[in-house]
Amino acid sequence: MNLNQARPPRRVVDGVLLLDKPVGLSSNAALQRAKRLLEARKAGHTGTLDPLASGLLPLCFGEATKFAQVLLDAPKRYTATIRFGRTTTTGDAEGATVEEHPVLFDRGDLEAGLAALVGPGMQVPPAYSALKRDGRAYYEYARAGIAIERRPREIEIHALRLLEWAPPDAVVDVECGKGTYVRVLAEDLGRALGAGAHLVALRRTATGGFGLSGAITLAALEDLVVEARLAVLLPVDSPLDQMPRVDLCAAAATGLACGQRPASGVPAGRYRAYGPEQRFLGTVEADGQCLRAVRMASFANGVQP
């Protein structure tokens, strides 16, 4: 049998799938499986989860990929299990042991250590990460035994709550800004408490305004027929729900799509724009007098799903 003939035809699919990614699968592998199940032509994910991690992974299909950056930049929330007394090469349970230490602190010390990490700060990305330098991922250098400079990046920890303390393990609710590596957070906490630490489990529970309650597993998605799978998708504009909205008349909507800058009295800022019949147009920038298109949606055959 010709394998190319056996593959189902790809279709235009527009929308957002809230996937509950399982442990043991990379974000890209999960994306490719979902893309295949939906028979979609174009898709992308909105923030990498390591194979060790599970939880919410919003996937954008078709026109929704134009607005994926909103979710990439959105705050995230995790439930992290941190094990103290041992550091590893990777900062998580997959790495080899580097050092072992006794765990001598108590719950009060742990809560104080968590509180000290809340707020803006700088974080050095892990050596084993997908960040790139000179076209190669950090983990490629690490696996080759090549040390490279890893520049600190600005992050912000919005909240750290201790959910459970059963030495040597702590379960922590983490709310953080974009670009935060929770395994580095675990290492920093272990270092501050003088015991060392590494991450043993991580589950993402929220991204922006999305939570796990609306997510579906790959197994559940696979059990559905294709049309039912498509019905699970959220609208293309769903990542923008927390962005203020502006509604335009037909003339202004047409002008915006043609590169014009229609007049508008809305305050300066970025908006999600809609035309007649609640038709989503895209994102626009207002300067207090007129609107400028930032990212416009264009649907197959001019029909919005």
Q: What amino acid positions are annotated as catalytic residues?
A: 50
Q: What is the dihedral of CA 202, 178, 107, 126, to 10 degrees?
A: 70
Q: How far is CA 16 from the centre of its chain?
A: 13
| Contacts for 115 with CB less than 8 Å, ≥ 6 apart | 160
Residue 151, token pair as written in the block: 């520049």
Residues 125 and 184 sit within 8 Å (Cβ to Cβ): yes
Q: How far apart are CA 92 and CA 26, in angstroms?
A: 15
| Interatomic CA distance for residues 99 and 94, integer angstroms | 15
What residue type is 184 in one-letter code? V
Element (H, E) at 133: strand 132-133
**Residue in 115, 120, 73, 117 with CA at minimum distance from that of residue 270:** 73
Give the integer Cα–Cα distance in Å for 198 and 90. 8
Cα separation, 197 vs 92, whole angstroms: 9
